[in-house]
Amino acid sequence: SSFFQPPAPAAASSASAAGPWQTPPSQTEANLIAKSVRLKGEKKLKQAWDLLRSEFEVQNRIWDSVSTAVAGGMAKTPAPAEVKRESLKVELNKCLESAKQDPKAAVRQLKPFIVSTPDKEAPAKILNHATEKAAHGVVKALRLSELCDRLAQSLEAMAAGSEPSDLEDLLAACQIQEGALETKARRVLGLG
C-alpha cells in the first residue's frame, strides 16, 4: 500500500467522487460568503476614500506653501484663484468628513469635483492630477462596491433557491481577487 490514493474512476457514483467543493453549501455558509463578498466591496471603497484623503492632504500642503509664498511676496496669485481654492478646500473637506459616516452617499458630493469641463477654473482643473485620479478611484470603487452588493444578493438568492442570471459576468466584474472567496462564491452560484 502507498500513501498516494489515485482519484476514484469517472464511473464511480457522483456522491463518492464529489469533493467538498462540489457539494451545495448550506444557507448559512452561503450567507457568510455573501457577507464576505459585500465586505470586500466596502473595503475597496474605504481604501479609495483613504487614498483620496491622503492625496488631498498633499494638495492642501501645496496650496498652503503657495499661500505662504504669496503672503511673503515671493509669488503672485490672483485673489479670485485663492478664494476658489479656499472654497474648494472647505467643500472637499466636508465631503471627506461625510465619507467617514456614509462612504456611498458621499460620492454624490464628490462628483462636482471630478466633472470634466473645459473651464480652467472648474474644481477638477484646480486639483492636482493625483488628487483628481484618487477622486475618480472613489467613483470606480463605488461601482465595484455596488457590483459586490449585487453579487452578494445573488449568492443569498441562490442559497434560498432562486436562479439569478448573468452570474459569471457579475462575479468577474466584482474583481474579488481572493482565490478562496471566489471559489466559495462560484460553488454557491453553481459555477464550478
Q: Is 68 exposed, middle or buried (0-12, 13-18, 19+ CB in 10 A)?
A: exposed
Q: Which three-class secondary structure state does DSSP give residue 22? A: coil
Encoded amino acid at 34, one letter:
A
Encoded amino acid at 109, one letter:
Q
Q: Which three-class secondary structure state does DSSP give residue 169? A: helix
Percent of the chain residues past pLDDT 70, beyond the cut: 74
C-alpha cell of residue 16: 463518492
Q: Using one digit for the tens of pLDDT, what is the confidence trace for 71-117?
A: 666 656 666 667 788 888 999 999 999 999 999 999 999 888 776 55
Determine the Cα–Cα distance for residues 3 and 127; give it in Å rounded to an integer. 64
| Cα–Cα nearest to 47, from 113, 103, 111, 122 | 103
Q: Whose grid coordinates read 468577474?
A: 172
DSSP 113: G
Determine the Cα–Cα distance for residues 154 and 190; give it in Å rounded to an integer. 11
DSSP code per residue over 31-60: HHHHHHHHHHHHHHHHHHHHHHHHHHHHHH
Q: Using one digit for the tens of pLDDT, what is the confidence trace for 47-68?
A: 999 999 999 999 999 888 877 7
pTM assigned to the model: 0.73
Q: Which three-class secondary structure state does DSSP give residue 78? A: coil
